[in-house]
Structure 1
Amino acid sequence: MNAILNRLATPLTLGLFAISTISGVALFLHVGQGYFHAMHEWLSIVLLAPFVLHVWKNWNPLVIYARRGALLWPVLASVAIAVPFAWPALSGKQQGGSPAIPMRIMMRAPIADLAPLLKMTPEGLQTALAAKGYKAASTQDSIEKISGEHARTALYAVLPKGR
């Protein structure tokens, strides 16, 4: 078992950490999210196994670090850096979320239901859409139904300016 630990723990940790770093930077920069999102999540979870092996392999040096106090400050600093990112969710004051979700709901809603959100009458919204080239047969039609793959463009065309 020691031979396996010595051969695999550090190289696997390094390899998976490199993948996690590259995919994390790509996600941070919003590049190739479709490629990197699942890879980053799953391989970061897989990274835990070689990390545990690495800690097991290096347990004695880790204990020495802890006894000398050299481990305490880096761990506390890491937690201090992480807390502000988690605090909004922990305190219940988190805002935001994916704007794609409400936009999708708005595009699929009947014009009659969407109009009050846009501070318009259903007929006014139907007229505004028609002026932009999107003709609805009734106010029960959705923006998605009348504009097909151009639903987002149609919705943006009738959103109040400044939103």
Structure 2
Amino acid sequence: MTMRDFINRYATGATTGLFLVSGVSGLALFFHLMPQLFKEMHEWLSLVLFVPVGLHLYRNWPAFLGYVRRRALILPLAISLALAAIFAVPAISSGTGPNGMARIMAGLEQGTVADMSGLLGTSPEALAKHLVQAGYRVSGPADTVSAIADKSGRPAREIIMAATSVPAP
């Protein structure tokens, strides 16, 4: 099988398959469904998607040039850029950066068990006990999430997610 045959046979299918994975994982992340399962999958496979898309464009280059010549790409590209700007411009102009949630998570990682317990509506002792029962190494309510992560050999975000499942008092 030549490279051209390979591209003709598999480029569209791979583009479709990875688009579906990216779409489903993106929806799951949007609705906060199992982010520990979907986040890395979504990020990496969305990057991998560039490969079959590039092969698909290569395979269909004459048709793509037809879209360019007829200026049929102008409106879809303008709409795409406008939609992206709706998210990017306020984040950049506010000085908070492009990802407010990343800043919140970074703050939680530096917070103590006692700090998080107030956010979760439980006592510091109950949260510490809950994390120990979940398998994390917690000395007490004064431990920071990042210190617990270091001692436990686990990512800090995993500990934050585990903390959110603490039973209400």
**TM superposition score normalised by structure 2:** 0.62
Query: How far off is 1:92 after superposition?
Result: 4.8
Matching of residue 103 in structure 1 with residue 108 in structure 2:
yes
- Quote the Cα distance in structure 2 between the aligned partners of 1:144 and 1:100: 18
Aligned mates of 1:92, 1:40 — CA distance in 2: 27
By how many angstroms is 1:4 displaced? 1.0
**d(CA) in 1 for partners of 2:90, 2:46:** 23
> How far did 1:133 drift?
8.2
Residue 58 of structure 1 is matched in structure 2 by 60
Aligned-pair identity (%): 38
> Against the structure 1 CA distance between its residues 133 and 4, is the aligned structure 2 distance closer, same or farther, given a 3 Å change threshold?
closer
1:83 aligns with 2:88: no
Which shifted more, 79-88 or 52-61?
79-88
Aligned CA RMSD, in angstroms, stands at 3.1
Deviates more, 1:85-94 or 1:14-23: 85-94
CA–CA separation in structure 2 for the residues paired with 1:36 and 1:42: 10
What is the CA deviation profile of residues 92-116 of structure 1, one whole-angstrom value per residue up to 9, with x for unaligned ones?
53373343432342317xx9xx9xx
From 4, 15, 27, the equivalent of 1:13 is 15
Cα–Cα, structure 1 residues 142 and 84, in superposed 2: closer, same or farther, change >3 Å?
same
Structure 2: runs of 5+ lacking an equivalent? 116-122, 126-138, 149-158, 165-169
Q: How does 1:63-78 map to 2 (within 5 A)?
A: 63-78=65-80
| Deviation, structure 1 residue 22 | 0.5
Alpha-carbon distance in 2 for matches of 1:43, 1:133: 39
Unaligned 5+ segments in structure 1 are: 115-131, 135-140, 154-163
Q: By how many angstroms is 1:71 displaced?
A: 1.1
CA distance in 2, matches of 1:61, 1:21: 25
**SS of the residue aligned with 1:85?**
helix
Q: CA deviation at 1:77?
A: 0.9
* Secondary structure of the structure 2 residue equivalent to 1:144: coil
Return the letter of the residue paired with 2:112: M
Equivalent residue for 1:4, pick from 3, 6, 9: 6
Cα displacement string for residues 49-88 of structure 1 (whole angstroms, at most 9, x for unaligned residues): 0000001111100111111111111111111111111113
Which stretch of structure 1 is more off in the superposition, 37-46 or 96-105? 96-105
Contact 1:107 1:142 in 2 (8 A): no
Q: Following the alignment from structure 1 to structure 2, what is the Cα–Cα distance between the partners of residues 7 and 85?
A: 37
Matched, 1:144 2:149: no
What's the offset of the Cα at 1:142? 6.7
